Structure 1
Amino acid sequence: MKLSVKCNVEAYLKGLIFGAVMSMNAGVMAMDSNEDFPIVQSSFQASKYERVLMTQLRDQKSPTEKFREAANRLTELLVHRVIECLPTFPVNIETPIEPFQGERLVGNVEFVSIMRSGDALLDTFSKHFPDSVINKILVQRNEETAEPEFKYMKLSPTIAKCNTVVITEPMIATGGTLIMVIGLLKEKGVAEENIIVASVLAAPEGLIVLNQLFPRIKVVVTAIDEKLNDKKFIVPGLGDFGNRYFGT
């Protein structure tokens, strides 16, 4: 990718993020435990099965195979929630018995996997959308500053015309990585209202910033935790999703 694009994104972040981050702590401190995030599409109340699977993910004693098993099952449920956000149109069909009016999904869906943790969700999503285009973006977190650093991007030429772009990102902490990725997508012509973020776990701080900067996106998340700690890790959290899923 050309350097100018990277520079544009960095300027975009500096221009947009500063005010949101400066007000974020005050917003979180004033937030009621039942605060509603307008961009979040699914209920905070997870099902009993989701709570059992989340416990398996959180448990530091869960080996890689158990963590991966729980993550894959949670992703199946996440797929269903994302599909609830997709537009449909009525269609008349014939059953073996009589005519029936059903519905089909409108247009096409493309995926953007934030490497590498986003790849953990991608396999399950692609099974439900076998003809979908898969795009890749690599943004790595600087462990000293907790800031995102852009590394790589490969997007399809059709992504700007797509009805729905689903970003797979298992964890939303500060929201910095997603802010950079959404900024990149918008530069490429993707409409904000066509973006859905699919995530397993989020911190309120990240959702507040995303809501301030991109109020027209949709976020589908299984669980929202208490807060970020001083090192910008989600509390109580589940550790590093990618490391635990892939075992490296």
Structure 2
Amino acid sequence: MIVHNLGLENSVLNQFVLELRDVEIQKDSMRFRKNIERIGEILSYELSKKLDYENEKVQTPLGTKEVSVPNNELVLCSILRAGLPLHQGLLNYFDKAENAFISAYRDHKNDDEDDFDIIVEYLASPSLQNKTLILADPMLATGKTLENTFRAMQNHGTPKQIHMVSVIGSEQGVAHVKNVFPENTHLWIAAIDEKLSNRSYIIPGLGDAGDLSFGIKL
């Protein structure tokens, strides 16, 4: 797997990540969602450089011009509910893409916060056959959610390319998806943190992206 950690470069992306992490700024849920959306746009731009391109002629008022444009059939798949702001950022740039949505949540065994499975209950997806699949999950903690999401989608066809898009990941989560996804998969991510807590939350991370975006769940 090819990892593109854009947080290692100096860009405005880091300002948006800082605001997501800040315990005061993140209290503004609208700004929190918008910052994730903007990060999605930046990651989309960088991802677009790895797509396939073809020349297309365009008629202007004064003549014609050939422009090199992407020609991939894209499917954007986001994990509910935390993935929705990130999905919007991707869709702002890849507005012709088809869309897929999947629910995935942690099922803690016997109310044990340390022991859990990732449960997938809902999937709505078009065919993936020979298309470019973009999987969006803002927090890449253990990597199990992305793994189970990909497994759940396998009966919808075999994509020709796979890109994963995340805001913040852990080193352990990145290592896990490296082991389970095809070698030519690309991971586009804004920051990679050092470790997970004993409850598998990213440290220092930013907290629960779903709760910060949409409110605390029961």
**TM-score of the superposed pair, with normalisation by structure 2:** 0.85
Distance 1:140 1:84, change over 3 A: same
| Percent of pairs with identical residues | 25
C-alpha separation in 2, matches of 1:185 and 1:199: 19
In the alignment, structure 1 residue 52 sits paired with structure 2 residue 38: no
In the alignment, structure 1 residue 231 sits paired with structure 2 residue 199: yes
Structure 2 counterpart of 1:78, from 43, 48, 55: 43
Q: Which residue of 1 aligns with 2:129?
A: 160
Contact kept in structure 2, 1:120 and 1:242, CA below 8 Å: no
Deviation digits for residues 39-69 of structure 1 (CA, Å, limit 9, x no counterpart)? 2135451434222211110012222133223
Deviation digits for residues 3-29 of structure 1 (CA, Å, limit 9, x no counterpart)? xxxxxxxxxxxxxxxxxxxxxxxxxxx
Letter in 1 for 2:205: G
Q: Give 1:102 shift.
A: 2.5
Contact kept in structure 2, 1:42 and 1:81, CA below 8 Å: no
Q: Give 1:127 shift.
A: 2.5
Contact kept in structure 1, 2:86 and 2:138, CA below 8 Å: yes
Contact kept in structure 2, 1:109 and 1:165, CA below 8 Å: yes
In the alignment, structure 1 residue 216 sits paired with structure 2 residue 191: no
Q: Secondary structure at the match of 2:153?
A: helix
Letter in 2 for 1:107: N
Q: Give 1:203 shift.
A: 0.7
C-alpha separation in 2, matches of 1:81 and 1:138: 27
Q: Which residue of 2 aligns with 1:116?
A: 81
Q: Give 1:140 shift.
A: 0.6
Structure 2 counterpart of 1:196, from 137, 147, 163: 163
C-alpha separation in 2, matches of 1:242 and 1:155: 22
Deviation digits for residues 108-163 of structure 1 (CA, Å, limit 9, x no counterpart)? 2111111111112122222223332211111111243242112111222x32242x
Structure number with higher helix proportion: 1
Contact kept in structure 1, 2:45 and 2:93, CA below 8 Å: no
Letter in 1 for 2:104: V
C-alpha separation in 2, matches of 1:104 and 1:45: 28
C-alpha separation in 1, matches of 2:39 and 2:72: 26
**What is the root-mean-square deviation in Å for CA atoms of aligned residues?**
2.1
Q: Which residue of 2 aligns with 1:14?
A: none
Q: Which residue of 2 aligns with 1:134?
A: 99
- Unaligned ranges ≥5, structure 1: 1-37
Contact kept in structure 2, 1:198 and 1:219, CA below 8 Å: yes
- Unaligned ranges ≥5, structure 2: none
Letter in 2 for 1:121: L
Deviation digits for residues 167-204 of structure 1 (CA, Å, limit 9, x no counterpart)? 1110101000101111122333223x511111111111
C-alpha separation in 2, matches of 1:186 and 1:149: 16
C-alpha separation in 2, matches of 1:97 and 1:40: 43
In the alignment, structure 1 residue 39 sits paired with structure 2 residue 2: yes
Structure number with higher strand proportion: 2
The alignment of Structure 1 onto Structure 2 pairs a total of residues equal to 208
Contact kept in structure 1, 2:102 and 2:123, CA below 8 Å: yes
